[in-house]
Amino acid sequence: MPIAMSALAPRRSGTGALAACGVIAIASLVACKESPKAAQQAPAVAASEPGATPAVSGRHAHDPAHPPIDCPLREAGADHHGHRPFDDVKKYAAFLESPERAAWQKPDELVGFVGLKGDEVVADVGAGTGYFTFRFAKVLPRGKVIASDIEPEMVRHIHHKAMTEGIPNVQAVLGAPDDPRIPSTAGVVFVCDVLHHVQDQLGWLKKIHQEVGAGARLIVVEFKDGDLPQGPPKSMKIPSEQVTALATQAGFKKLTEDTKLLPYQYVLTFQKP
Ligand SMILES: C[S@@+](CC[C@H](N)C(=O)[O-])C[C@H]1O[C@@H](n2cnc3c(N)ncnc32)[C@H](O)[C@@H]1O
């Protein structure tokens, strides 16, 4: 039976990340707790999460020439108390990363569609597990990806993967529900399957518009209307005309609308004039 993405959408815990900065013994989390220097010198520890790369003997698996970035959760001042189990997020992550999803989400085609030169800063907002983040990182040898999410465990997951797999051009950022915290250098803001989760959609798009510079593109991917085997319930779907109206009101100019690339979603492209 198909799983509706929204059914598994992580709830805002508003709690922070005990595990993120101390409980799970993985290399990146050492970097969350200690100074970059101490983190580099820390002994190797076993990765305890599927897909994690164990640290190599005596140092971490990432390139020591690139000092570890600080823990994005601590940086954002996230509260460490009342953290909920990682299992919840693992289930959600399993769905987002499933081969079944890839068949209709066509992530590589979508990344190709964005048409990057390789030196841009891409903000993947509502990045989740980093499904697109790490694909963008591969096509940005001289650029970088800012992966922003409001769910601390997703941010921790991306930070951990970037650190343990030695991916220096990915930076995880803990955003707020009304502020994705995008740097002004971002040339592309990519928002896939996120807008229908946002409460104040106009306010959110206005914030994005305010944060990026002139010429920056905004790519919005949302579910098409109709009785489809994937996507949120009808009540949560946003028609493309509505997204266009909201983005235009926020100050963006519409560039393109594509309904052919993906079977269940449309892709809208805007630009800040
Ligand atoms: C369905 S997932 C999509 C993840 C990713 N974009 C992908 O396509 O694999 C939606 C994500 O949006 C995040 N999210 C929800 N509301 C948000 C907001 N106001 N700002 C940023 N992210 C948000 C959730 O935490 C979740 O990780």
For domain 5-12+85-271, the CATH superfamily is: Vaccinia Virus protein VP39 (3.40.50.150)
pLDDT tens sequence across 107-116: 999 999 999 9
Q: Could you tell me if the CB of 197 is within 6 A of ligand 1? A: yes
Please work out whether the CB of residue 211 comes within 6 Å of at least one atom of ligand 1.
Answer: no
Tell me the average pLDDT across 69-86.
62
Question: Mean pLDDT, to the nearest integer, of 180-193?
Answer: 98
Whole-model pTM?
Answer: 0.78
pLDDT at 4: 42
- Mean pLDDT value of segment 138-145: 98
> Which percentage of the chain shows pLDDT scores above 70?
70
Neighbours of 19 (CB within 10 A): 22
Ligand 1 contact via 10 beta carbon (within 6 Å): yes
How many angstroms separate the Cα of 267 from the Cα of each of 81, 108, 224, 243? 39, 14, 10, 10
For residue 177, how far is its CA from the centre of ligand 1 (angstroms)? Answer: 10
**pLDDT at residue number 18:** 25
Query: What confidence category does residue 81 fall into, taking pLDDT thresholds of 50, 70 and 90?
Result: low
For ligand 1, atom 14, name the residue with the nearest CA.
Answer: 126
Q: Is the pLDDT of residue 86 over 60?
A: no
Q: Is the pLDDT score of 77 beyond 80?
A: no
Residue 65 CA, chain-centre distance (Å), reads 25
pLDDT of residue 5: 42
Mean pLDDT taken over the chain: 79
Question: For ligand 1, atom 26, which residue shows the shortest CA distance?
Answer: 128
Alpha carbon distances (Å) from 29 to 35, 57, 144, 188, 238: 11, 16, 22, 29, 38
Mean pLDDT of 185-210: 97
pLDDT per position as a tens digit, 44-55: 333 333 333 333
Residue 146: pLDDT over 70? yes
- SS3 of residue 22 by DSSP: helix
223 lines ligand 1 (CB under 6 A): no
Strands (E), the chain: 121-125, 144-149, 170-174, 188-192, 217-223, 253-258, 265-271
Domain boundary assignment for the chain = 5-12+85-271
Task: Give bridge partners of residue 189 from the DSSP assignment.
Answer: 123, 218
